[in-house]
Chains A and B, each alone.
Chain A
Amino acid sequence: MTGDTMTPMERFLATVSHREPDRVPLFLFPTLHGARELNMPLTQYFTRAENIVEGQLRMRERFNHDCLTGFFYAAAEVEAWGGEVLRRDDGPFNSGRPVIRDPKQILDLVPPRALDCPCLEESIKATAALAERSAGDVPILGVAISPFSLPVMQMGFGPYLELMHHHPGLFEALMAVNEEFCVGWANAQIEAGATAVVYFDPVSSTTIIPRNLYLSTGLEVAKRTIPRIKGPTGTHFASGHCLSIIPDIIRTGTGVIGVSAEEDLTQIKKACAGKLTIVGNLNGIEMRRWTREDAENAVKTAIAKAGRGGGFILADNHGEIPWQVSEETLQAISHAVDQWGRYPLNWIDSNA
C-alpha cells in the first residue's frame, strides 16, 4: 500500500506486541479466491501445494494484505482420520458422513501422523514454499482445528454434544487422541515455516456451549494443548461469540482471538486489555452484497472501535472469505485500510 513503511511481518509483530505499527494489518484469508485467479475449479485447485502457493502469492500481490497460509480446507483434518470430504466448485470443501458412528469406536482410535496423510502433507509443502518465497517478510499462518472442535466433523454435532453430556469417559478418551493429533499437526506446520498457528475452536464459543461447560471442557483441552504447540497461537471462534470468556481464553496462553461480527469490538477491545490481539470482525456473509461505500464504512467502524494502541488485525469474522465475495469488494476493503488504517488514527477524534 502507498504509505507502508513496515513489512507485513514487522507490522504483525508490532501489533501483537500491542504497539501501533505503520497501519492496521489486514488479514484477508482469501483461501478460495486463488483458484479464480488461476482460472481453476476449486476441485483442481485443492489438489497440489503449488496451486495454493501461487494463489496465495497472487492474492497478496493483488490485495496487499498481510499474511499467507498453506491452509487447504478444514475437512482435510478429518480426511486424515479416514473421513469423507465433499468436494465442490462453489465453496469450501466439507466433511461428509461422520467417521465415528458409534462412540465405542473412540477406544480404538489411533491419532494419525500429519505427515503420513497426503491431504495434510500438501498443506505442509505449501507452508514451506510460502515461507521460502516470502523470506521472513510476511507472516505465514498455519491452521489446526482444536481437539475439542474436531469431533463435530469426526462424529457429527448432535452425537458429540450427547457424548460430552452422557459419556464423560469416552469424551476424555477422544480428547486424548485428538490432542496428540492436533499438537503433531500444528508443530509440523511450525517446523515447515509457519509463523503462528490458528487454533480453530468454534465449539468453545458461548454461541455453542455455555461458559460453565467450557470451563470444564474446551478450556481444559486448550490449556493442555496450546502450551505444547512450539510457536505462537491465535484462537479463532469462527464467528461464534467469545466476549464473556475472554478472561478464560487469556489463561490458555493464546495471543490472538478471532471475534464475531455479532459482538461489539469496543467491548472486546476493553476485555482484551492489552493481553490479546483481536482479529476481526467484518461480516463475510453480508460482504457478498457490499458496495464500495459499505466496505469503506465497515472498515472505518472496525478500526475506530479497536484500532488504537495496536493489538488489532482487520479480517473477516469467520476465518475465510466466502467464494461469492467479489474481488472488487476485497479491493475496496484493501483501499479503505490504506486510507483509514494509518497510525496514528487521528481521524477517529475528528469524526467523533
Chain B
Amino acid sequence: MCTQKRTIRVKRVSHDYAMTVDSHKEQFRDALLNMNQDAARELLMQTAGALSPVQRLEHLIIPALLDIGDEWSCGSVALSQLYMSGRICETLLDELIPEHEIVRRDLPTTAMVVLSDYHVLGKRIVCSVLRSSGVDVLDYGTAEVDEVLARIAEDHVKILLVSTLMLHSALQVLELGTKRNEAGLDFKIVVGGAPFRMDEMLWHEIGADAMGYSASDALGIIEELAEGIE
C-alpha cells in the first residue's frame, strides 16, 4: 500500500466546482494508468463547461501525474504507466489547452541531462511531468560532463536535473560537481534514478544538492531550491 500520497491543496472553490473535480480526478488518473488516451481526453472534455483550461491543468492533470509518480516510487505502479501517463498528458495539453493559457511558473532556469548514457526514459518522464505542470525545462539529452558545463554557462542554468540508470553515470555527478566548482559556476544538482533508490546514501556521496525518488518529486524540489536562489 502506497503511504506517500501527497495532499493537493485546492483553493477554496464553489460546491459545483469541487464536485466536478472530485468526480473526475480519480477517473482521469485511472484512464492514465490504463494508458487510455481516448478516455483521458473524453474526461477532460466533459469538464470543459465547469472548469477553465488552467483549472483542468491545475486540478486534474497535475494531481494525477503527481499521484502516479508517488505510486511508482512505492512500487504499486509500473514505469511504463508513469511514462505513458506523461506522454498522454503532454498530448492532451497540446490538444486541449492553448499554450498562452498555461501559467508558466516563475522558476530559475532549469535543465535536464543524462550523463554518458542513452537510457533516457527517466529524463523524458520527468520532462513530461514538469512541462505538464507549467515548468520550462531545457532538455540537454545525453551529454558528457564538459559539454553540459559549457551549455549551463551559456544558458545561465541555475538547477540541473540529472537522470540516471547506470551506476557509472551516477558517479559522474561527482566529476560534474568538482568541475562546476572549479569553473566558478553556480547551479544546483538534483539527481534521480535507480542507483539512488538502490542506495539512499549515494546522492550525498557524490555531492548532489537533492535527490528525487520519482518524477513527482521534481516540481517540489525545484520550488524548494528556488527559494535559496537569487
Contact = CB atoms under 8 A, between A and B. Distances in A.
Kindly name the residue among B81, B117, B118, B166 whose own CB sees the greatest number of chain A CB atoms within 10 A: B118
Interface in B90-113: none
A158 B82 CA distance: 11
A230 to B, nearest CB: 32
A322 B117 CA distance: 16
B163 to A, nearest CB: 12
B166 A285 contact: no
Contacts of A98: 118
Contacts of A323: 168
A286 B83 contact: no
B138 interface: no
Contact of B198 (A86, A94, A286): A286
A191 interface: no
Contacts of B202: 285
Given A165-B35, A208-B80, A283-B199, A157 B167 contact: no
A289 B201 CA distance: 10
B168 A90 contact: yes
Given A289-B201, A324-B167, A324-B171, A156 B120 contact: yes
Interface of B: 35, 75, 77-81, 83-84, 87, 116-121, 124, 166-168, 171, 194-195, 198-199, 201-202, 205
B167 A91 contact: yes
A130 B151 CA distance: 48
B118 A285 contact: no
Contacts of A261: 198
A206 interface: yes
A161 interface: yes
A210 B81 contact: yes
29 contacts: A86-B118, A88-B168, A90-B168, A94-B117, A94-B119, A156-B118, A157-B83, A157-B120, A158-B83, A158-B120, A158-B121, A161-B84, A161-B121, A165-B35, A207-B78, A208-B78, A210-B80, A210-B81, A213-B78, A261-B198, A262-B75, A262-B198, A283-B199, A284-B198, A285-B199, A286-B198, A289-B199, A323-B168, A324-B171
B80 A213 contact: yes
- Nearest 9 A/B pairs, CB to CB: A91-B168, A157-B121, A285-B198, A285-B199, A210-B78, A209-B80, A286-B199, A208-B79, A209-B78
B227 to A, nearest CB: 31
A253 interface: no
B75 A95 contact: no
A239 interface: yes
Contacts of A288: 199
B184 to A, nearest CB: 27
Interface string A227-245: 0000000000001010000
Nearest to A323: B168
Contacts of A96: 118
Q: Classify the secondary structure of A's interface with B.
A: loop
A303 to B, nearest CB: 21
Nearest to B88: A165
A244 to B, nearest CB: 10
B80 A239 contact: no
Nearest to B124: A158
B81 A239 contact: no
A207 B194 CA distance: 11
Contacts of B201: 286, 289
B78 A86 contact: no
Given A156-B118, A239-B198, A161 B167 contact: no
Nearest to A263: B75
Interface string A322-335: 11100000000000
A248 interface: no
Contact of B75 (A88, A157, A241): A241
A95 B81 CA distance: 24
A162 B198 contact: no
Contacts of A164: 80
A239 B194 contact: yes
A97 interface: yes
Contacts of B118: 86, 94-98, 156
Given A209-B79, A283-B199, 6 more contacts: A90-B168, A158-B124, A161-B80, A241-B75, A285-B167, A323-B168
A164 to B, nearest CB: 8
A242 to B, nearest CB: 12
A152 B116 CA distance: 17
Interface in A82-116: 86, 88, 90-92, 94-98
Given A156-B118, A158-B120, A285-B199, A207 B168 contact: no
A100 B119 CA distance: 15
B173 to A, nearest CB: 14
A328 B119 CA distance: 31
A208 B79 CA distance: 5
B80 A283 contact: no
A207 B79 contact: yes
A215 to B, nearest CB: 13
